[in-house]
C-alpha cells in the first residue's frame, strides 16, 4: 500500500492543477473561444447580419413597404373607403335612416304609443286604479284600520295603559315614593337639619354674637360714644 506524504500531495497538486490551468484552460480560452469570437461571431455579425440588414431588410423597407403604402393603402383609401363613404353610408343615411325615422318611428309614435296611452293606460287608470282605490283601499280604511283603531288601540289604551297607570304607577307613587321619600325626608333630612342647625346655631351664630357683635358694641360704639361725648363737653 502506497502512503501519500505531504511532499507527494503537494507535488501532485502543483503539477496536475498547474498543467490543467496553463495547458487546457489557457489553450481553451486562447484557441477555441478566441477563434470562436473573432472568426465565427465576428464573421456572422459583419457578413450575415450586416448583409441581411443592408440587403434584405433595406430592400424590404424601400420596396415592399413603400409599394404597400403608396399602392395598396393609397388605392384602398381613395377607392374602397371613398366609395364606402359616398355610396354606402350616404345611401344609408338618406335612404334607410330617413325611411326609418319617417316611417317606422313616426308610425310607432302615432300608432302604437298613442294607442297604448289612450287605450291601455287610460283603461288602467279608470279601471284598475279606480277599482283599487274604491274597493281595496276604501275597504282597508273602513274595515281594517277602523277595526284596528277602535278595537286594538282602544283596548290597548283603556286596558293596558289604564291598568298600568292606575295600578303600577299609582302603586309606585303611593308606595315607593310615599314610603321612601317620606321616610327619607322625616328621618334623614330631619336628623340632618336638626344636627346641622343645632351645631350651626350653637357654634357659629353664638360665637359670632358673643365675639364679633359684642366686640363691635363694646369697642366701636363705646369708643364712639366716649369720643363724641368728650368732644361735646369740650365745646
Radius of gyration (C-alpha) of the chain in whole angstroms: 62
The CA-CA-CA angle for residues 13, 14, 16, to 5°, reads 65
Q: What is the pLDDT of residues 59-72, one digit of tens each?
A: 777 777 778 777 87
Across 207-221, average pLDDT: 73
pLDDT-derived band of residue 137, with 50, 70 and 90 as boundaries?
confident
Considering only 1-15, 53-67, 119-133, which range has the smallest mean pLDDT? 1-15
pLDDT-derived band of residue 1, with 50, 70 and 90 as boundaries?
very low
| Angstrom distance (rounded) from CA 104 to CA 101 | 6
* Between residues 131 and 57, the one the model is more confident about: 131
Across 38-57, average pLDDT: 78
Distances (CA, A) of 58 to 51, 62, 123, 175: 10, 6, 80, 114
pLDDT for position 229: 76
Please determine, for residue 37, whether its predicted confidence score (pLDDT) is greater than 60: yes
Count Cβ neighbours within 10 Å for each residue of 19-49 and write b for 16 or more, e otherwise: eeeeeeeeeeeeeeeeeeeeeeeeeeeeeee
Instruction: Give me the residue spans of the domains in the chain.
Output: 142-202
| Angstrom distance (rounded) from CA 99 to CA 93 | 9
* Between residues 8 and 72, the one the model is more confident about: 72
Q: What is the pLDDT of residues 138-196, one digit of tens each?
A: 788 778 877 887 788 778 877 887 788 778 877 877 777 777 777 777 777 777 777 77
Overall pTM surpassing 0.75 (yes/no):
no
Amino acid at each position: 500500500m502506497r502512503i501519500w506524504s505531504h511532499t507527494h500531495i503537494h507535488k501532485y497538486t502543483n503539477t496536475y492543477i498547474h498543467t490543467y490551468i496553463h495547458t487546457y484552460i489557457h489553450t481553451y480560452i486562447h484557441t477555441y473561444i478566441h477563434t470562436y469570437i473573432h472568426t465565427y461571431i465576428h464573421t456572422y455579425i459583419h457578413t450575415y447580419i450586416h448583409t441581411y440588414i443592408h440587403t434584405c431588410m433595406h430592400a424590404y423597407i424601400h420596396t415592399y413597404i413603400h409599394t404597400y403604402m403608396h399602392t395598396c393603402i393609397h388605392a384602398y383609401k381613395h377607392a374602397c373607403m371613398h366609395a364606402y363613404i359616398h355610396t354606402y353610408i350616404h345611401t344609408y343615411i338618406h335612404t334607410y335612416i330617413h325611411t326609418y325615422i319617417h316611417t317606422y318611428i313616426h308610425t310607432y309614435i302615432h300608432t302604437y304609443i298613442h294607442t297604448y296611452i289612450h287605450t291601455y293606460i287610460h283603461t288602467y287608470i279608470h279601471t284598475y286604479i279606480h277599482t283599487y282605490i274604491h274597493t281595496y283601499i276604501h275597504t282597508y280604511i273602513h274595515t281594517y284600520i277602523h277595526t284596528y283603531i277602535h278595537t286594538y288601540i282602544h283596548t290597548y289604551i283603556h286596558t293596558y295603559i289604564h291598568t298600568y297607570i292606575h295600578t303600577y304607577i299609582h302603586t309606585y307613587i303611593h308606595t315607593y315614593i310615599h314610603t321612601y321619600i317620606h321616610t327619607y325626608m322625616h328621618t334623614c333630612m330631619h336628623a340632618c337639619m336638626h344636627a346641622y342647625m343645632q351645631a350651626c346655631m350653637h357654634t357659629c351664630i353664638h360665637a359670632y354674637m358673643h365675639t364679633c357683635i359684642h366686640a363691635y358694641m363694646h369697642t366701636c360704639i363705646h369708643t364712639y360714644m366716649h369720643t363724641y361725648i368728650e368732644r361735646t363737653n369740650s365745646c
